[in-house]
Chains A and B, each alone.
Chain A
Amino acid sequence: MIVELGHFALILALMVALVQSTLPLWGAHRGDARLMALAGPAALVQMALVAGSFAALTWAFVVSDFSLAVVVSNSHTLKPMLYKVSGVWGNHEGSLLLWVLILAVYGAAVAWFGDNLPDRLKARVLAVQGMIGVAFLLFLLLTSNPFWRLALPPLDGQDLNPLLQDPGLAFHPPFLYLGYVGLSMAFSFAVAALIEGRVDAAWGRWVRPWTLAAWVFLTIGIALGSWWAYYELGWGGFWFWDPVENASFMPWLLAAALLHSSIVVEKRESLKAWTILLAIMAFGFSLIGTFIVRSGVITSVHAFANDPERGVFILMILAFFTGGALILFALRAGSMEARGVFSLVSRESALVANNILLTVAAFVVFIGTIWPLVGSMLLGRDLSVGEPFFNAAFSPFMVALALVLPPGAMLAWKRGDIGRSLRGLIPVMVLAVALGALAFAMQTGRTALGPVGLMLGAWVGFGAMADIWARTGREGVGARFARLFRLPRADWGKATAHFGLGVTIFAVSAMMSWKIEDIRILQEGETFPLGRYEVRLDKVEEVQGPNYTSTMGWMTVTRGGAVVAVLNPEKRIYPVAQMPTTEAAIDYGFLRDIYLVLGDRQQSGGWAVRSYIEPFANWLWAGCILMALGGLLSLSDRRYRVAAGARKVPAGVPAE
């Protein structure tokens, strides 16, 4: 019964979304206040209905209702409760329901918090948001209905893929979706602005927080996925340039570009048309990502349950929304006149450089991702594109971005002085070069990647510190410190996020260049050297887990005779899913992780063992957390809250 109610609520939500996407739009066109006022309540009702539907599906998973097809193929009575719940979105149908739920929540948030929006703009934004809702609710109901019953329910389910039974991955999809779908807000605002034919500073101020929130969620989601791949897959890597990873990375890059260009719209009323285009592209890439993941046209290690019918449907959604928005853009972009002018050397120009580099980088990822498809469809050739291509073709743009970031961030608006911002960075430059040289001298005859990465990371990271310090004025050190803590949170957000980027750049290059790997056969009781450590395999034993059996190794890591850690790498077998998994054992450290993987028993006796020293691995996740934290700090800035109540403040006064 609950399941049927959920199913019914979903169909009702589709009806409400249809109303939300048409009548307010008509009302805005005719100037009919009553029709426009319909948008808000419709968005709230749609959210309530989708939430009810999602709750019904969650209920079915919690009580293991095996009359539902999705529950049978993704759950099992013995599974821990956390994974019963995360199993709701651990499959195609449920994850799309989550997608639609988040979409409806964003729409409801505009209805709820959007009192200060002009009625017309609000009606149009909610109508566009409603259209996206219609498209995805149709997709859900027609091709991927999670409420499909089975005539003959089995006694037990087939279990969730054991690799997904992990806390890191339980929360990875919701964060990614909050990010992907968050970009739909920027898209809806962009299309609404195109229909209105005007963009002003206030528009920039409404779009920016949504983009920022979406970017923060994407950052967290991608970092969680990467962290999971690192500790769960047992390859010791953190990023594989897999099409599905790229699908989340492209919107991240474009969202980063968008949140910077919307600053220019808000403060300087410039780059309007470009910002609109970027908003369309950012959401377009979210849809392309959904297409890549759900259609399976591009081979990926993430073999999602997918089929061509669904792929074609998503392609149609993609064509309708991006195509329609781009046509609208072509018709209306000319009317978006810039008011603020700026010279070639200015903060605006630096942000344009940021936008060009990020967009081109996203495009390189895109073409690398679809090239195998182009090869097979247009060229009739079997082509592959992998890590070596991306490392060579993508990295230069990131290096350029890192080089221009610190001086660009310190330039003045409108007309800057490059010499002055570089002079402020001389200590940072000296420090970065010195650190790079030190690293080059200390490492033993390997590539230049590590030292260069350290130099760039230090340049960006300490550059962010120099930037915020420069904002404290020219008085005594005490007065400057006092002022430092009175700076707006947006300044702190900027510095924190840029510092996090520096940490991430350093950690990525450190892990790529200074990793130590060892593969060998080890007898029980035998010891081998690993970097500065010695590792001993004490014993291997069979252990019974809650829904798996495990072959567990006991390994002791020592350094100069002192025990550093006792680690238990495992090989598990999940009998229900008939699947083996490898559980790497990791000793997390500030400067390095010790990463041990137990392999197969050898015919000659002994065990295959693969071990790594992963330098600065924790810095990578810390860098991502700092970037997300920077975004949150900016989001909590007083100006956004003031803006919410300051409807009557004359527009065009740039906040500084």
Chain B
Amino acid sequence: MIAFLKRWWADCPPYALALFLAVTPAWAVQPDEMLTDPVLESRAREISRDIRCPVCQGETIDDSNAPISRDLRLIIRERLVAGDSDAEVVDYIVARYGEGVLFNPPAEGANLVLWLAGPALLLAGIAVALAAGRRRVAPDVVLTTEEESRLKEILKE
């Protein structure tokens, strides 16, 4: 763990700075990048909202104003104009920048753990609650014959 933290620390020198420095408040999509075709442009926006800026701290390329994000936004638009489908555009970017740019990890392989953890825990929770509920109700109803005779005695008194 410590080794990991140290390596991570060495990789990322700018952290010595204060709170929130990474939030550059200027905004991302510039008017000159936008496509004139509104359908293609809205598809480009949809795609770029799911792509992480490779050099930023968890920003989408839609929000980021890093130069590489601009490049990626332009690439998306180029591919769309060239007639690619949305999936093809995403594949094109993943092939060049790695799966780390995907903010929406596909539900396959190890990522299935991520996607199925919630539903699995829900089912487990329901099962445990039902089992506990049955335990809780049971003693209320079932009395052994001994207990029954004892109960009769008590009621007689």
Contact with B50, one of A164, A341, A386 (Cβ below 8 angstroms): A386
Q: Tell me which of A338, A384, A519 contacts B29 (CB under 8 A).
A: A519
From B18, B49, B52, B140, A305 is in contact (CB under 8 Å) with: B18
Chain B residue with Cβ nearest A295: B5
Minimum C-beta distance from B135 to chain A (A): 9
Could you tell me which residues of chain B, from 110 to 157, have a CB within 8 Å of some CB in chain A?
110-111, 113-115, 117-118, 121-122, 125-126, 129, 133, 136-137, 139-140
Q: Kindly provide the distance from the CB of B55 to the nearest chain A CB, expressed in whole angstroms.
A: 11
- Tally B residues with Cβ within 8 Å of A: 60
Interface residue B99 (Cβ < 8 Å from any Cβ of A): yes
Contacts A311-B5, A356-B126, A397-B122: A384 and B100 contacting too (C-beta < 8 A)?
yes
Interface residues of chain A: helix, strand, loop or mixed (majority): mixed
- Does chain A have a CB within 8 A of B16? yes
Residues of A within 8 A of B2 (CB): 308, 312
Q: Is the CB of A388 within 8 A of B8?
A: no
Asked if A303 and B105 make an inter-chain contact with CB atoms under 8 angstroms apart, the answer reads: no
Contact in complex: A315, B26 (CB < 8 Å): no
Segment of B57-65, B66-74, B77-85 engaged in the interface with chain A:
B57-65
A352: nearest residue on chain B (CB-CB)?
Answer: B129
Q: How far is the CA of A303 from the CA of B49 in the complex (A)?
A: 21
Do the beta carbons of A343 and B137 come within 8 Å of each other? yes
Question: Are B20 and A161 touching (Cβ within 8 A)?
Answer: yes
Interface residues in A, total, Cβ within 8 A: 78
Q: Is the CB of A341 within 8 A of B136?
A: yes
* Interface flag for A649 (CB, 8 Å): no
Q: Determine how close the nearest CB of chain A comes to the CB of B3; give it in whole angstroms.
A: 9
Provide the A579-607 mask, 1 if CB < 8 A to any CB of B, else 0.
Answer: 11110000000000000010110100000
What are the residues of chain A within 8 A of B16 when measuring CB–CB?
Answer: 305
Chain B residues with Cβ below 8 Å from A375 are: 110
A:369-389 near B, CB below 8 Å: 371, 375, 377, 379, 381-389
Contact status B15-A305, CB under 8 Å: yes
Residues on the B chain within 8 Å of A90, using CB: 19
Considering the chains assembled together, what is the distance between the CA atoms of A312 and B3 in angstroms?
11
- CB of A379 within 8 A of CB of B19, answer no
Say if the beta carbon of A349 comes within 8 Å of chain B.
Answer: yes
Known contacts A74-B18, A270-B136, A382-B100; is-contact A300 B58 (Cβ 8 Å): yes
- A37: CB under 8 A from chain B? no
Q: A389 to B103, alpha carbons, bound, how many Å?
A: 7
CB contact list, B1-58 vs A, under 8 A: 1-2, 4-6, 8-9, 14-27, 29-32, 34, 49-50, 52, 56-58
Instruction: Check A299 against B58 for contact (C-beta < 8 Å).
Output: yes
Known: A233-B23, A308-B2, A610-B27. A73 touches B103 (CB 8 A): no
- A91: B residues at CB distance < 8 A: 18-19
Most B-side CB within 10 Å, residue of A232, A295, A381, A520: A381
Instruction: Mark interface residues in A554-589 (1 if CB within 8 Å of B CB, else 0).
Output: 000000000000000001000000011110000000
A161's contact among B19, B104, B121, B125, by CB below 8 Å, is which?
B19
A89 to chain B, nearest CB (A): 11
Q: Is B76 an interface residue (CB 8 A)?
A: no
Chain B residues closer than 8 Å to A388, beta-carbon distance: 49-50, 103-104
Judging by beta carbons under 8 Å apart, are A360 and B58 in contact? no
B102 on the interface (CB 8 Å rule)? yes
How long is the Cα–Cα vector from A582 to B111 in the complex, in angstroms?
37
- CB pair A360–B118 under 8 Å, yes or no, is yes
List the B side residues contacting A242 at CB < 8 Å: 58
Given contacts A243-B58, A306-B15, A384-B102, contact A235 B5 (CB under 8 A): no
Alpha-carbon gap, A299 to B58, bound state (A): 6
- Given known A338-B136, A387-B49, A388-B103, contact A305–B17 (CB-CB < 8 A): yes
| Closest partner residue, chain B, to A73 (CB atom) | B18
A129 at the interface (CB under 8 A from B): no
Complex Cα gap A33–B148 (Å): 46
Asked whether any CB of chain B lies closer than 8 Å to the CB of A418, the reply is: no
- Chain A residues whose CB sits within 8 angstroms of the CB of B18 once the complex forms: 73-74, 91, 160-161, 304-305
A384 touches B52 (CB 8 A): yes
0 or 1 for each of A282-310: is its CB under 8 Å from B? (1 = yes): 00000000000001110111111111100
Report the bound CA distance from A195 to B17 in whole Å. 44
The verdict on A356 contacting B140 (CB below 8 Å), with A305-B19, A384-B100, A599-B30 known, is no
Please give, as numbers and ranges, the residues of chain A lying within 8 Å of B98 by CB-CB distance: 382
Instruction: Confirm or deny: B89 has a beta carbon within 8 angstroms of a beta carbon on chain A.
Output: no
Which B residues fall within an 8 A CB radius of A? Answer: 1-2, 4-6, 8-9, 14-27, 29-32, 34, 49-50, 52, 56-60, 63, 98-105, 110-111, 113-115, 117-118, 121-122, 125-126, 129, 133, 136-137, 139-140
Other than A270-B136, A295-B5, A382-B98, give 15 A-B pairs with Cβ distance below 8 A.
A232-B25, A235-B63, A305-B16, A308-B6, A341-B136, A341-B139, A342-B137, A359-B121, A367-B113, A381-B99, A385-B114, A387-B103, A388-B103, A393-B115, A599-B27
12 contacts between A and B (CB under 8 A): A243-B58, A307-B9, A312-B5, A361-B118, A363-B121, A382-B99, A384-B102, A393-B118, A397-B118, A519-B30, A519-B34, A579-B21
Question: What 7 A-B pairs have minimum CB-CB distances, sorted nearest first?
Answer: A386-B103, A308-B5, A382-B100, A388-B104, A364-B118, A356-B125, A582-B25
